Structure 1
Amino acid sequence: MKVSPWPAVLLLIAGAAYFLPQRDPGALGFGPPSQVAPLNDPLPQTTRALFGQSRPATVQIDQLSPARNGGLEGGLGTGFLISGDGEVMTAYHVVDGAQLIRVKTLSGQVYRARVTAFDNAADVALLKIDARRPLPFLKLAASSPRIGEGILAIGNSGGDFLQARTGRLLRLGARAGQADFPQNTLEMSAPLAPGDSGGPILNAQGEVMGVVSYVRVNDAGKTITSYAVPVTRTGPLVLALEAGQKRDVPAVGLVFDSQHDGLTTPSGGVVSAVVPGGPAAAAGVRGAAYDAKNQLTALGDTITAVDGIRTRSSNDVIFELRRRQVGDQIKLTLSNDGKSREVNLGLVAKGSINYNQ
């Protein structure tokens, strides 16, 4: 499972979380696909027919990524073929930082995949597998979806292998509320869960309207609504991906302190750790201090402004960073122990920073 450099607790406060790749011990061995589990509820005949037609073009994605303890950990997500020669679309966070990606088809074929294009902010990626024969694929929708229409999702959550989830499209252009989640998404009633990340959202014609990204849950952890990044055949996102563009988000190499976030005086994004070799480290931003027993002895710097714009939480800081471009120069206003100071630093691509040190 990919570990985000942003605070997990902050995401839970908002009641939302990425569909991180589901941890699966079997994924580490890349064995045969999981046993197909029966559907909990029978599908209507027309939906079952659509599922049967679309399922062979969806895939299970297994990946290995670096763990913070220096080893590797496995994750499981979903994707779908968009061309007969082996182009696979999925959510970017499913493969972000992966050292090894493998794709399993319904027929049991296993392929090694490589990332050919991505848009980190939009949370969509293209993979390529080397298929020796033409493969079934799904068409992307030609136009934008309509609120209220039924949707079919296919994914790998709950130990199922490429199973169906159904619901309705509730809203277009939904805002995540979290700066590091994709914005302007499709909000749906389908009961999706970890393992469904990167899977297709299909309309009644069997065209892909969106790529599964994140979920909003209640206090008991039950899915309230699910969200997908909209895609259309000739949309700018798809055209950029098919042109091979790799669009990363800007970053400076900070890990935030979720326990004290927004609670300091003055309030702001509290720095927990500074990644060695990153721009923040070079600029002298300070993380928290600990004693020999790993007990907190001093909070890190609190970021109270970015380029003079007031930031009252780490989400505000991330939002301001995401508004800018890789290569931009910024000024951070920092507070620590009652003293304020400013530092200048440059934004770099997030993928160039090793958060797993």
Structure 2
Amino acid sequence: NATPAVVHIATQGRTGGSSRHAEDPLFEYFFGERRQSHRRTRGLGSGVVLDAAKGYIVTNGHVVEDADNIKVTLKDGRSFEATVVGTDPDADVAVIKVDATGLTAIPFADSSHLRVGDFVIAIGNPFGLTQTATSGIISALGRSGLGIESYEDFIQTDASINPGNSGGALVNLKGELVGINTAILGPNGGNIGIGFAIPINMVKGISEQLIEFGEVRRGYLGVGIQDLTPELARAFNIRGKRGAVVAQVEHGSAADVAGIEPGDVVTSVNGISIDDASALRTRIGLLRIGTKVKMEVIRKGKTHVVTANIEAPVMQKVTRQGLGKRLDGAMLESVTIDGTAAVIIASVEPGSTADRAGLSEGDIILSVNRQRVSDVDDVVNAIKLSDKRLLLNVVRDGRGLFLLLQ
């Protein structure tokens, strides 16, 4: 019986009021930050008991995002206040904790053994209706490139998933957890038989890091990649249509040391097929720093096997110094331009938080929250003094513009 492990989550938060100029960075630049009115917000979602003895519960990051108060209600009617242990906004996974006894955890399945057509049951609290179960099948596996999260490897199901189901359990007929329900595609957020869940193998790896570090420390290969298009496949003399093309290899990176070259087409990672660039990015991003990874690459029509030692990205080291998730995916570099010290964005990882915020490779950062910056340390210090918003003044292609990151 899996239902005792599924909990109802109710949140309260506070959001700033809006005005006609609220999201206009130029207005703020010239007239200063305006005092904001605030209003209370409420949210509903679901969660799954991860560790009954320690009170850890896994849910979606968006369920507890910006919450001041989190209330967890069990199937037996007991309620507890919860605290956030850690969140991973790039995968939409969060771990919260309650001080409670008598919790019931749920056994895990191995989501790598799932097959299209397997029967599954979604358990959650849609629209606040507690302990609701719906059934269906697995419609597809390894869904990515949907633009829902930065790291995507979704289970697609036709089991009804509605608002409030987020963070709930997707289980097999043995009552084992195979995934965490996270998103739906449909008009006005309604269910039309297309729902998505994060595979439990992915959730487990992320949750372990959130509990250990309070954050996810993703591995880094050091390559620029793109999808293998039919045109590129013909140019590289490759018969297959799946893979990720290595367009760039950073000098001294894990990929460089492993002997990966521009023009290589990565077709598998640790025995798992790679369909496109998004799939490769997700696979590498789920590996812990220091992990050895075996990859199959096609080079000049021949298949080679290379082994790389996944390393920590420079950006992640800066993040732990205080740069924060809002610039995650961007490589910042201190440079001198015409004798003037400056900060340039050396690269932006496709699909990352920085990419979605509108940052581009080659952008020159002049100021952060109207504070002049001349090196990466200045950027870090300015962000430490910021609240939830970052106002960047950058120069792109010779013209200045403001970017607002939240």
Confirm whether residue 210 of structure 1 aligns to residue 243 of structure 2: no
User: In 2, Cα distance between the equivalents of 1:102 and 1:77?
Assistant: 10
Structure ranking higher in helix proportion: 2
More displaced stretch, 136-145 vs 191-200: 136-145
User: In 1, Cα distance between the equivalents of 2:96 and 2:40?
Assistant: 21
Cα–Cα, structure 1 residues 322 and 179, in superposed 2: closer, same or farther, change >3 Å?
Answer: farther
* Contact 1:330–1:344 (8 Å) recurs in 2: no
Cα–Cα, structure 1 residues 136 and 307, in superposed 2: closer, same or farther, change >3 Å?
Answer: same
User: In 1, Cα distance between the equivalents of 2:57 and 2:64?
Assistant: 12
SS in 1 for 2:155: strand
User: In 2, Cα distance between the equivalents of 1:58 and 1:121?
Assistant: 23
Q: Shift of the alpha carbon at 1:232?
A: 2.6
Choose which of 37, 46, 51 in structure 2 pairs with 1:83: 51
User: In 2, Cα distance between the equivalents of 1:135 and 1:220?
Assistant: 32
- Kindly provide the CA deviation profile for residues 100-120 of structure 1, in whole angstroms up to 9, marking residues without a partner as x: 101001111110001112222
| TM-score in terms of structure 2 length | 0.50
Unmatched segments (≥5 aa) in structure 1: 1-52, 250-277, 281-305, 310-315, 335-342
SS in 2 for 1:196: coil
**Alignment correspondent of 1:177:** 146
Q: Which has the greater radius of gyration?
A: 2
Cα–Cα, structure 1 residues 344 and 201, in superposed 2: closer, same or farther, change >3 Å?
Answer: farther
Percent identity (aligned) = 26
Q: Shift of the alpha carbon at 1:95?
A: 0.5
RMSD: 4.0
Cα–Cα, structure 1 residues 240 and 72, in superposed 2: closer, same or farther, change >3 Å?
Answer: same
User: In 2, Cα distance between the equivalents of 1:174 and 1:81?
Assistant: 25
| TM-score in terms of structure 1 length | 0.56
SS in 2 for 1:321: helix
Unmatched segments (≥5 aa) in structure 2: 18-37, 219-324, 328-344, 366-373, 390-404
Q: Shift of the alpha carbon at 1:165?
A: 1.3
**Alignment correspondent of 1:195:** 164
**Alignment correspondent of 1:67:** 15
User: In 1, Cα distance between the equivalents of 2:9 and 2:203?
Assistant: 26
Q: Shift of the alpha carbon at 1:245?
A: 3.2
User: In 2, Cα distance between the equivalents of 1:240 and 1:179?
Assistant: 22
Choose which of 177, 200, 206 in structure 2 pairs with 1:231: 200
- Kindly provide the CA deviation profile for residues 64-90 of structure 1, in whole angstroms up to 9, marking residues without a partner as x: 122232122110000011222221110
Q: Which has the higher contact order (CA 8 A, sep 6+)?
A: 1
User: In 2, Cα distance between the equivalents of 1:221 and 1:116?
Assistant: 31
More displaced stretch, 230-239 vs 163-172: 230-239
Cα–Cα, structure 1 residues 207 and 158, in superposed 2: closer, same or farther, change >3 Å?
Answer: same
Confirm whether residue 321 of structure 1 aligns to residue 354 of structure 2: yes
User: In 2, Cα distance between the equivalents of 1:173 and 1:233?
Assistant: 11
**Alignment correspondent of 1:96:** 65
Confirm whether residue 164 of structure 1 aligns to residue 112 of structure 2: no
* Contact 2:162–2:191 (8 Å) recurs in 1: no
